[in-house]
Amino acid sequence: MISVSDAFSKFRSRLELTDREQEDASRRHYEIRDYLKSKFDIERDFLTGSYKRWTKTKPLKDVDIFCVLGAKERHRRDKPSAELLKAFEDALVEKYGRANVSRQRRSVTVDFGVTPNADEDTDGKVMSVDVVPAFTKNKHYEIADTSVKSGWTETNPEMHYDLAVKAQERYSGEWKGIVRMCKKWNAFHGKPIKPSFLIEVMALEVLHPPFGGDLRYEIKALLASLADRIHEAWADPAGLGPPVSDSMDKAACDAARSALMKGSDAAARAIQIERQGKNGDALRAWRSDVFGPLFPLS
């Protein structure tokens, strides 16, 4: 049987992007960019978000594709942002079908109809992408945001990228792995924290270096710290967009806090079971009570 510490190492690497997933993400990126370029004036486009930062969890879905619009599309900035998203939605529906395309707050999602198996494996396939139309603004970008009054949000994905790189360095290369695990916990428990980017933003502040050396205790402590501070307002770490916590009202924060405390208690119990020498039970506790089927039993 595998030890709990080896199971954590295996779990951490299972949450990393594989070569095949990156090839598939790149293939989908080029396919969508080539198509959209026939419909819009797109100056530049790139993969971004947690995918690019290596903080995305599995199964791999909602990979962000930024499409920076050129001068010919500038007129769209003077209209409501919902119209820009609608134009992208309509174009993508033409290619991928009505049932596979949906509009979000800041993006348009294209679903590729990939279903993960019982072990949450997608056989190297990306399940969906989020297409984000963007305008350049100074040294950063402005994107549609139908949940804020102005209709537009400024963002700087490069700065988010740099912050994650720095956090990773300060945390002995373990920070991103811990964020991915915590996002997995969140997804397995029905997403009490929304958006999952909020977990990453909170982790920038609540994971104090140095890395403690033991992922079991790191996870238990992180869930407890998130519970303690989930009611606070969490600003965009680049200082541009609206608070990242703006879609969690008091009731959502209360529910998240209670789920996080349960998560931390479940981690404490799994640690206790292992201390009693019951390795198999401890593995099952981490899997069924904390992380779900991606946490290995062997």
Ligand X SMILES: Nc1ncnc2c1ncn2[C@@H]1O[C@H](COP(=O)(O)OP(=O)(O)OP(=O)(O)O)[C@@H](O)[C@H]1O
34, burial (CB in 10 Å: exposed 0-12, middle 13-18, buried 19+)? exposed
Q: Which of ligand X, Mg ion, none sits in contact with 196, Cβ below 5 to 8 A by type?
A: ligand X
Find the part of the chain contacting ligand X (CB under 6 A) among 87-95, 115-123, 153-161, 261-269: 153-161
CA distances to 53, 55, 143, 148, 270 from 64, in Å:
11, 12, 13, 20, 35
Q: Which of ligand X, Mg ion, none sits in contact with 184, Cβ below 5 to 8 A by type?
A: none
Q: Tell me: does residue 50 bind ligand X (CB under 6 A).
A: yes
End-to-end alpha carbon distance in the chain: 6
Other C-beta atoms closer than 10 Å to the C-beta of 17 total 17
Q: Tell me: does residue 64 bind Mg ion (CB under 5 A).
A: yes
Give the C-alpha separation, 130 to 157, whole Å: 15
Among 195, 219, 273, 283, contact with ligand X (rule: CB under 6 A): 195
Find the part of the chain contacting ligand X (CB under 6 A) among 70-78, 189-197, 213-221, 286-294: 189-197
What's the min distance (Å) between Cβ of 104 and ligand X? 9
Residues in region 221-260 near ligand X by CB under 6 A: 236, 240-242, 244
Q: Tell me: does residue 160 bind ligand X (CB under 6 A).
A: yes
Give the C-alpha separation, 212 to 179, whole Å: 15
What's the min distance (Å) between Cβ of 5 and ligand X? 26
Q: Quick check: helix, strand or coil at residue 249?
A: coil
Q: Which of Mg ion, ligand X, none sits in contact with 274, Cβ below 5 to 8 A by type?
A: none
- Identify the CA nearest to 81 among candidates 100, 59, 106: 106
Give the C-alpha separation, 151 to 113, whole Å: 30
Among 32, 42, 49, 236, contact with Mg ion (rule: CB under 5 A): 49
Residues in region 198-227 near ligand X by CB under 6 A: 200
DSSP 25: H
For the record, the structure tokens of 167 come out as 């956090």
Q: Tell me: does residue 200 bind Mg ion (CB under 5 A).
A: no
Give the C-alpha separation, 59 to 216, whole Å: 22
Q: Which amino acid is present at 98? A: R
* Beta carbon nearer to Mg ion, 64 or 145: 64
- Contact residues: Mg ion, CB under 5 A: 49, 62, 64
- Contact residues: ligand X, CB under 6 A: 49-50, 56, 62, 64, 130, 153, 155, 157, 160, 195-197, 200, 236, 240-242, 244
